[in-house]
Structure 1
């Protein structure tokens, strides 16, 4: 292959990068999106043209530091070191390259935000997860994870009363009903093919409880790949819908009176080829003990929006109480029974949704679980009833984003793990969102979450 006009020779690139250059020509790719997730949970990025890709794989694309102080309403917050002065680079990970079937001529790579000299930047969410994975590996463990997202499929239509556009669901089929499969069939088949084309292995799909609600899960993977997969899934769910003149929203509560959209997080901890959640009850219990000990603070990261807390309510199968139990879908942590002889035991964290930054969410979960292992924390007795039927007996998780942020600020372990710049930015962004939505009505909140997620 010829050298690129930028002066970067293909011989100077690593094998992954060389293969990408070959693929872009063979597949007719003209623009390659370098994607990242900000502190508001919004997926953002810039795109390199194919003609400059050889150079940009090494240098990245220049980007203002201020974007990591932007909230989901595109309101810039006053955070020290994240203002108009300063620059980072959006540096793609070549191993994550995928064509985008829903956007012909385009491809994407998940990216890190790095300083101009190439060193890690302390406000990069993907770097936070990488560091957490490295700490876990230092203790001899590997975490496999999978997000289990729900979303609402419909159309975004003008409000008859002249207010904000509203999401009108595609159908009103019953939960798991075959009519739901049929109504969404054309969209679903295009979605599944698009995900499989990108290397995301679809496990299960079904129509869910609410009008237009769908659920589709991807095969588990090592933690970083699992978070990358969730970003690609979010973009593909929405992108396929747009190409079909539909609208898909992964917002936690896009319709105020209907079921919420979770993104339950499934976890298993491994040592070499052994799943410790099936082979070592002591390790599993300590990991769960760590999650429970930090769960009020974790919800500020795993349920990352004002809208999240409309979903995180008792008797909605969202896990509103800080308890664990075997196959208990009202417990925050469900101990999942394996499917058949070949199934792997795993733990499901239910207070989790797609408005969260998956890198911050999963990284914080690793820090909490590892703390439980190190301190041998006791998760307490498993709960085998709906905890809401025993008033006052079990601890309730925060009921608002503000309460969750207060818990996060009080959690020394997670604040230390986030580091000064990242925690300052995250708290400023999220508190600004809490204040902005508190000053508006429900329709305003729903509209902006449906548009963002």
Structure 2
């Protein structure tokens, strides 16, 4: 349900809401928030709530540290794991300077601009996400160990799959928040799980992906476990992927799917730094269904882009290289602009690579371009890209080229 500002104020007053979390994220997608009391809500809507941003990655230094958070009423969600008495709600925020100018490192705002640019072309993009994560046991001090919660394998069931009840609790919590998961199952790695989401508009999909990680970590912690979204938590086991499904619809009914995919294939090397922002991201490439080459095919899970068997409104492209440490707002922003680039230039989709890259010989692989093999190569590709510099502010690009996400 979408709320207006007045409806939010009335809801807070009538339903014993005692804390309002104003949520945002830094340039790497790490979630942040500040809690305000109900009496401050009208001021938050009217003027914004000031924060000292000097300690947040990419948000300025001590000389220019004041920023304002502006809650967006339509993103209101109750946090069901908090007590019934004195309940807690959360809203995502836009960020501005004190003079009202949009803050250039507000990555959620960058996605909103990408959506508007697409709509100006009569195009509407849709996203669905599939995030993988590991569950690890804690030691007697409550610290994370490297001992997986179970030793189950792909789509195993209980009792081998100990994560079944955890996934159930995660999905039920998400439903209480108005988010509808599509499916869940045990993944290939020990203690590894996956939960998939229905298609939605880009901003809702990105907000839900951010919310998902919070819910997973919260539910895991309440069950005496640690949830790990890092791309390679265990050296010799499958990594965590963030498979992003994407489709496009046109106001005039035209089919732009092939052009969209061609644009993503052409720009993906330049985007990789933002899809895979940690050093360990690159340890995942080329094994356990994680791609290493720039290619596409139907069905084939060794490809960078897979087009699953589907027709009509369910036809989509799945980008398989991103991992869950990426800033979802930046990932979706760049995928939209790459898709727009392909559509505007009517790029032709190259021939499908109907082969298994994990078993192909060296001679065959020579004809395919590789994704950046490490974070240094990814930084070089991004910093030298006019496409990236057009759509990513220099401040964000400079931070990504100097720092690594944690």
Q: TM-score, normalised by structure 2?
A: 0.91
Map 1:221-260 onto structure 2 (within 5 A). 221-260=200-239
Map 1:246-285 onto structure 2 (within 5 A). 246-272=225-251, 274=253, 280=255, 283-285=256-258
Q: Which deviations, in whole Å up to 9, do the C-alpha atoms of 1:123-181 show, x marking residues without a partner?
A: 1101111111111111100001011101112223379xxxx953321100121111268
Whether the aligned pair in 1 keeps the contact of 2:247 and 2:316 (CA below 8 Å) is: yes
Within the alignment, does 1:347 sit opposite 2:317 as a pair? yes
Whether the aligned pair in 2 keeps the contact of 1:68 and 1:123 (CA below 8 Å) is: no
1:425 corresponds, among 379, 384, 399, to 399
Within the alignment, does 1:114 sit opposite 2:93 as a pair? no
Q: Which deviations, in whole Å up to 9, do the C-alpha atoms of 1:276-333 show, x marking residues without a partner?
A: 6xxx2xx22221111111111111111122221122x213211221111111211111
Shift of 1:347: 0.3
Whether the aligned pair in 1 keeps the contact of 2:241 and 2:322 (CA below 8 Å) is: yes
Q: Which deviations, in whole Å up to 9, do the C-alpha atoms of 1:79-103 show, x marking residues without a partner?
A: xx82112211122211111011123
Shift of 1:403: 1.1
2 CA distance for matches of 1:395 and 1:421? 29
1:301 corresponds, among 264, 271, 274, to 274
Moved more, 418-427 or 399-408: 418-427
Within the alignment, does 1:62 sit opposite 2:47 as a pair? no
Shift of 1:342: 7.0
2 CA distance for matches of 1:58 and 1:418? 29
Whether the aligned pair in 2 keeps the contact of 1:99 and 1:107 (CA below 8 Å) is: yes
2 CA distance for matches of 1:400 and 1:416? 23
Moved more, 214-223 or 177-186: 177-186
Shift of 1:26: 4.3
Aligned to 2:297: 325
1 CA distance for matches of 2:291 and 2:383? 22
Shift of 1:265: 0.4
2 CA distance for matches of 1:291 and 1:57? 38
| CA distance 1:289–1:343, shift in 2 (3 Å) | closer
Question: Gapped runs of 5+ residues in structure 1?
Answer: 1-13, 71-80, 434-448
1 CA distance for matches of 2:109 and 2:333? 9
Whether the aligned pair in 1 keeps the contact of 2:44 and 2:69 (CA below 8 Å) is: no
Whether the aligned pair in 2 keeps the contact of 1:174 and 1:180 (CA below 8 Å) is: no
1:134 corresponds, among 112, 116, 121, to 116
Shift of 1:412: 0.4
Within the alignment, does 1:373 sit opposite 2:343 as a pair? yes
Within the alignment, does 1:406 sit opposite 2:388 as a pair? no
Aligned to 2:60: 82
The DSSP-based 3-state class of the residue aligned with 1:308 is: helix
Structure in which a larger fraction of residues adopt helix? 1
Within the alignment, does 1:192 sit opposite 2:165 as a pair? no
Within the alignment, does 1:148 sit opposite 2:130 as a pair? yes
Q: Which deviations, in whole Å up to 9, do the C-alpha atoms of 1:204-227 show, x marking residues without a partner?
A: 111110011111111111011110
Map 1:204-215 onto structure 2 (within 5 A). 204-215=183-194
The alignment of Structure 1 onto Structure 2 pairs a total of residues equal to 396
Shift of 1:67: 4.3
Within the alignment, does 1:416 sit opposite 2:395 as a pair? no
Aligned to 2:368: 394
1 CA distance for matches of 2:223 and 2:13? 27
Whether the aligned pair in 2 keeps the contact of 1:126 and 1:359 (CA below 8 Å) is: yes
| CA distance 1:324–1:101, shift in 2 (3 Å) | same
2 CA distance for matches of 1:192 and 1:41? 22
The DSSP-based 3-state class of the residue aligned with 1:30 is: strand
Calculate the aligned-residue CA RMSD, in Å: 2.2
Question: Gapped runs of 5+ residues in structure 2?
Answer: none
Shift of 1:358: 0.5
2 CA distance for matches of 1:337 and 1:260? 25
Moved more, 369-378 or 28-37: 28-37
